[in-house]
Amino acid sequence: MNYRNLFAEIGIPQAAIDRKIAETFATMFYGSEEERIYHPVGDDMGYIEDTGNIDARTEGMSYGMMMCVQLDKKEEFDRIWKWSVTYMYMTEGRHAGYFAWSCKPDGTPNAHGPAPDGEEYFAAALLMASARWGDGDGIFAYSEWARKILRDCIHRNGDGEKPGMTMWDETNHLIKFVPETPFTDASYHLPHFYEIFAERSDPGDRAFWKEAARASREYLRLACNSETGLCTDYGNYDGTPLARSFNPHAGLHYSDSYRTVYNIALDWSWNRADDWQPGECRRVQRFFENAGEKWSLVPHPDGTFTDEEAMHPVAIKSTKAAASLAAVDGANPEERALAERLVREFFEMPLRTGKRRYYDNCLYLFSLLMLAGEYRVY
């Protein structure tokens, strides 16, 4: 597999790229209290903090593990994984086999329900850890745990099998927002991970994951606006925005949605499975470029803006730049110039500090790895 280094392609020296990655990880994991999101606990555990909500989430914990396996940071990976299993993994009740999506920093659960994006990142990170470092014993038998997570996601949950409690819809192969809901979240759709699952999950489940990859690529075509490229945070299985939700931002291009375009770009980088993807990435970049000073306001998927400021502006800039990994393919000279300019501007942009840094900086580091050709399949 060829991993493009767009930073190098626009003339940034490799030494500067390597330094940028190392400094970003060091800041996020071991920087000052205003910078770091990682907290070691005791001799062998640690957690990733959502600094805006003062909790540990399966989203952040699984993100931290993926960052660590990509950067060959086994100690931090194992610490985060052990904290996750110790405090988040549920062994009884209706959600047995899943991870509680939010816990206090001391490990006390804030909720007893799971969020499927955590499980898919946990499984992918564990499979890559197995390939990169080899399986250990107990909870560090990475591939065994990954297969167990994937098995539970699509077959069973709780004390006996209960209809509707799987994390993927059994009929359309689309990931759910949570097991109990008949709708989805576009940013949860990771066909590039499902391709890995289709190769390394239980043999009897591999056809399911292959179909899930196909279904998610088809869903993303429906969910992303054909003019702006924007999607909404939550959506119906037919790609239409969710009309009513507990979340007032569900029908807007809001925080979750920012991840969608860089997921699409990463899938293109790894698989080249859908020729629609580069054009979709260009549409998103062009939309924000044409928005001018309004770029930091929250938009509807049709491109009309609200008066609300986005909570995570660094995340918008990061993922917009990461979209260049696909956007440059097939681009005309003007489109390519925009994509390359966004890459350079991103490289020169600092990490976010302060209360809301967690989400922005997670997407920042993933975007950095993507554009450096260092977000790889292991």
Q: How many CB atoms lie within 10 A of CB 248?
A: 9
Query: Which phi and psi angles does 50 have, rounded to 5°?
Result: -75, 100
Residues 55, 59, 185, 335: which is the catalytic one?
59
E strand residue ranges, the chain: 38-41, 45-48, 56-57, 102-103, 297-299, 305-309
Strand partners, 50: 55
The single residue of 205, 256, 280, 360 carrying the catalytic annotation is 256
Structure tokens at 216: 């998610």
Rounded Cα distance between 47 and 333, Å, is 44
Q: Please list the alpha-helical segments (H only) found in 156-231.
A: 191-200, 206-223
Given a contact cutoff of 8 angstroms between Cβ atoms, the answer to whether 233 and 252 are in contact is: yes
Structure tokens at 264: 């699409």
CA nearest 327: which of 255, 264, 254? 264
Which of 30, 146, 25 minimizes the C-alpha distance to 85?
146
Residue 256 bears catalytic tag:
yes
Backbone angles phi, psi at 363, to 5 degrees: -70, -30
Closest CA to 177 of 222, 233, 217, 216: 233
Measured torsion, CA atoms of residues 171, 175, 179, 180, in degrees rounded to the nearest 10:
-70
Cα(283)–Cα(274) distance, integer angstroms: 15
Q: Name 333's Cβ contacts closer than 8 Å, sequence gap at least 6.
A: none
CA pair distance 154, 149, nearest whole angstrom:
9
Structure tokens at 259: 């991840």
Residue 267 annotated among the catalytic residues of the structure: no
Cα separation of 252 and 274, whole Å? Answer: 25
User: Which residues have a catalytic role annotated?
Assistant: 59, 256
